[in-house]
Amino acid sequence: MKSGIFIDRDGTLIREVNFLHKPEQVVLTPGIQHAIRRANKLNLPVIVVSNQSGVGRGLFTSKDVDLVHNHISDLLAGDDAHIDGYFFCPHLPPGADNDSPDCTCRKPNPGMFQAAAGTFEIDFESSVMIGDKSLDIEAGRNLNMKTILVETGYGRKSLSESELLKPSFVCNNASTAIHFFLDSYETTLS
Ligand SMILES: [Mg+2]
Ligand SMILES: [Zn+2]
């Protein structure tokens, strides 16, 4: 079992765009390539966990989501960095469609995390979830992970929400958050 880095996509790994679904809309968070490459070199899986209800809403398809993820991987590859796994929930939020039952994969539910942990043999308690929304923090907290709220995307707004579960840490963006986590991870190695 090993530590892993779980990271939200929109507003965290890449710039927030409402219902982003085209590769050309992707803008990586500054410095994220170097942060991810550092994790790659330490053999820590970097896993994207993303709610994509636009699929369930019929705004775009799972194929569109895959193309966006391929583009993110291409951009990262230019700096010798890679994402180990992309997991996304295509379903509607609870209550949005009374004809279908709520899914177990939409954050803050644990489905995507459990699938990734099985594949990559990840130990949650020594891992981190990085995101910009309350549901990201809640998802990580539910699995006893460390949680980092970033101030990009909806992060600042989330900080002002009274229902925000307290994250373990707050960082200005996902690059800082990954480096911060890796700094403490490396001290556990020595
Ligand atoms: Mg987000
Ligand atoms: Zn789902």
For ligand 1, the distance from its centroid to the CA atom of residue 48, given in whole angstroms, is: 11
Would residue 64 show up in a list of annotated catalytic residues for this protein?
no
**For residue 100, what pLDDT is reported?**
67
For residue 15, the ligand closest to its alpha carbon is: 1
Q: How far is CA 122 from the centre of its chain?
A: 15
Angle at 169 between CA 44 and CA 25, to 5 degrees: 65
**For residue 190, what pLDDT is reported?**
77
Give φ, ψ of 120 to 5 degrees.
-105, 5
**For residue 162, what pLDDT is reported?**
72
For ligand 1, the distance from its centroid to the CA atom of residue 119, given in whole angstroms, is: 23
Q: What is the pLDDT of residues 41-56, one digit of tens each?
A: 999 999 999 999 999 9
Q: Which residues pair with 87 in a beta bridge?
A: 49
Ordered domains of the chain (ranges, CATH): 5-189 (3.40.50.1000)
Report yes or no: 70 and 27 within 8 Å, Cβ to Cβ: no
The low-confidence residues of the chain, meaning pLDDT below 50, are none
**For residue 171, what pLDDT is reported?**
97
**For residue 97, what pLDDT is reported?**
66
Neighbours of ion ligand 1 (CB under 5 A): 8, 10-11, 132, 153
Would residue 8 show up in a list of annotated catalytic residues for this protein?
yes
Catalytic option among 8, 84, 132, 136: 8
Q: What is the value of pTM for the model shown?
A: 0.96
For ligand 1, the distance from its centroid to the CA atom of residue 168, given in whole angstroms, is: 17
Contacts of 84 (CB under 8 A, 6+ apart): 45, 46, 47, 120
